[in-house]
Structure 1
Amino acid sequence: MSNWTPKTELGRKVVAGEITTIQEALATGLPLREPPIIDLLVPDMLEEVIDIHMVQRMSDSGRRVRFAVTTIVGNGNGVVGLGRVSGKLVRPTITKALDRAKLNIIEIRRGSGSWECSTAVPNSLPFEVSGRTGSTRVTIKPAPPGVGLVTNQVGQIMLKLAGVEDAWSFTKGQTQTIYNFANAMFKALEKTSTTKLLPGQDDFHNMIKGVKQE
C-alpha cells in the first residue's frame, strides 16, 4: 500500500487526507476506480468468495476453459459490495473479483422497520425492498430482533457483511444461479439507500445510513 500511487482525483484526495471516510468518498460523486482507496478507508473489510464455476466454450482452436468467480465484501457495519469476474486462472480471478466488489461498494440504510419491533437498535432494514436480475426476484423484509437471517446461505453472507442482523427474504423465479440471486439481493439493498424519503423520515424506525458510529 505504501507503494501505491493514485491515478484518479478521488485517490489523490484520499492520500492527501482530504477524504478520510467511505461516506465522504461516496458523497463526492467521483468514480471509484482504485481498490486501494477502499483498503485505506475501510481497513476492517471482510471478504467472501461465494461461487467459483467453470465455463467451457468451443472455438475454432478447440475447447476454452475459464472460471467465473463471484465475491462479496463488507465491513459488517452498513457497507457492502458485490463483484463477478471471469478468467483463465482461479487465484488471479479471485483477486480481480474481490477488487471488483470493492469498486462496487455501496452504503445501505438500516433500521428497525418491523411492526413487531420495539427496540431502538437498527437491527434490520427500515422498510421492505426488492431487487431483480434476470428472472430472479428477491424481496427483503424487516424482522424483529431474535429472528436472525431467514434466507439461503448466500443471502446470509451478504446480509451479515452488510451489517443486517435480522431479516426475512423471499425469492421468485430461477434462484439456482448464485450470481443472479446475489445480484438481485444486492440491488434490493441498494434501494434502501437510493429510495427518497420525506423530510424527517430518517427518524422513523431508527434509520442509519452507512457506518454506525459508536
Structure 2
Amino acid sequence: MSQVQEKKDSDRGERRRRPREEEEVWVPKTILGQKVASGQITSLEEIIESGDRIQEAGIIKKLLPDLKTEVVDVGIIQKMTSNGQSTRFKAIVAAGNGNGWLGVGQGKSKQMRIAIEKANNQAYLNVSPIKLGCGSWECRCDQKHSVPFKVRGKGGSVTIEILPAPRGLGLVAGGKIKRLLELAGLKDAWTTAYGSTTTMNSTSKALLECLRQTFSHG
C-alpha cells in the first residue's frame, strides 16, 4: 500500500472518531442533578418552586433542550502587573429559547475559546423564567407577545425600562438589547435605556433584572 493511500485511510479514520470525541456526556455531580437525570424531576418549574440551587449547567440542558446560546459581546482586558502587561479575553453569552426563558453569563480567560465556554456555562446557570403577556391598553389581547406590565431593571450604571406594546409594533430597542428580548420570547415592546449602554456587562444585567420582575411580581 502506498504512503498516499495510507494517509487517506488514516484521515478517514480520524474523521470517523472525531464526532465521538466531541460528544459530551453529562455526569451529574449533585443530588439535584441525579434526580433530574433519573427522571424524578421533569421540569425547571419544580426546581424553582422548591427553591433548590442549580449548580450544574447539565440540569438546564436536560430540562430545556430547546435553549440556544449566542455570543453577545467579546472584548480584551489589559492591565499592568509586576511581570509586565497582562492580556485576557472577556465574553458575554446569552441563553434563551424564545419562549419565556433567558440567562446571561460572563467569562474571562487568557484564551478566547475558554472565555466563551465559561460564559456559556454561566448563562445556563443564570437562566430565569419570564412571564410573557399583553399589558398594552391599546391591544388587550390574550396572546403572550409582550410583557404583562411595565418593568424596570438596573445593572451598574445602566437602567432599562420595558413597556408593553400592542401586537404588530415589534421591538423598539437597540441592536443587542433587541436580540436579548428576542431570545427571551418578546415580540412587541417599547424600551428606554439610561446610562452607558455600550457596556454590555451592565446592560445585560439590567435587562435580565428587568425581565425577572415579570415573573417575581406577576
Relative to the length of structure 1, the TM-score reads: 0.88
Q: Does 2:44 align with 1:7? A: no
User: Which residue of 172, 186, 191 corresponds with 2:208?
Assistant: 186
Equivalence for 1:145: 167
| Residues 107 and 117, structure 2, Cα contact 8 Å, conserved in 1 | no
| Residues 130 and 184, structure 2, Cα contact 8 Å, conserved in 1 | yes
The equivalences for 1:88-127 within 5 A come to: 88-127=110-149
Equivalence for 1:62: 84
| Unmatched runs of 5 consecutive residues or more in structure 2 | 1-22
Equivalent AA in structure 2 for residue 36 of structure 1 = G
Structure 1 residues 2 and 101: alpha-carbon distance in aligned structure 2, compared to 1, 3 A threshold: closer
The equivalences for 1:1-214 within 5 A come to: 3-195=25-217, 197=218
Equivalent AA in structure 2 for residue 21 of structure 1 = S
Equivalence for 1:204: none
The 1-side partners of 2:179 and 2:31 are apart by: 33
In terms of fraction of residues, the more helix-rich structure is 2
The 2-side partners of 1:148 and 1:168 are apart by: 8
* Deviant stretches of 4+, over 4 Å: none
State the 1:16 CA deviation.
1.4
User: Which structure has the higher relative contact order (CA within 8 Å, separation 6+)?
Assistant: 1
Relative to the length of structure 2, the TM-score reads: 0.86
Could you say what the CA RMSD is over the residues aligned between the two structures, in angstroms? Answer: 1.3
The 2-side partners of 1:110 and 1:155 are apart by: 17
| Unmatched runs of 5 consecutive residues or more in structure 1 | 198-214
The 2-side partners of 1:101 and 1:145 are apart by: 29
C-alpha offsets along residues 79-107 of structure 1, whole Å, 9 cap, x if unaligned? 11010111110011111101100000100
State the 1:142 CA deviation.
0.6
3-state SS, counterpart of residue 180 of structure 1: helix
| Residues 102 and 184, structure 2, Cα contact 8 Å, conserved in 1 | yes
Equivalent AA in structure 2 for residue 72 of structure 1 = A
Equivalent AA in structure 2 for residue 42 of structure 1 = L
Residue-pair matches, total: 196
Larger Cα-atom Rg: 2
The 2-side partners of 1:174 and 1:4 are apart by: 39
The 1-side partners of 2:78 and 2:24 are apart by: 39
Identity over aligned residues, as a percent?
39
C-alpha offsets along residues 147-170 of structure 1, whole Å, 9 cap, x if unaligned? 111111111111111111101110
Equivalent AA in structure 1 for residue 47 of structure 2 = A
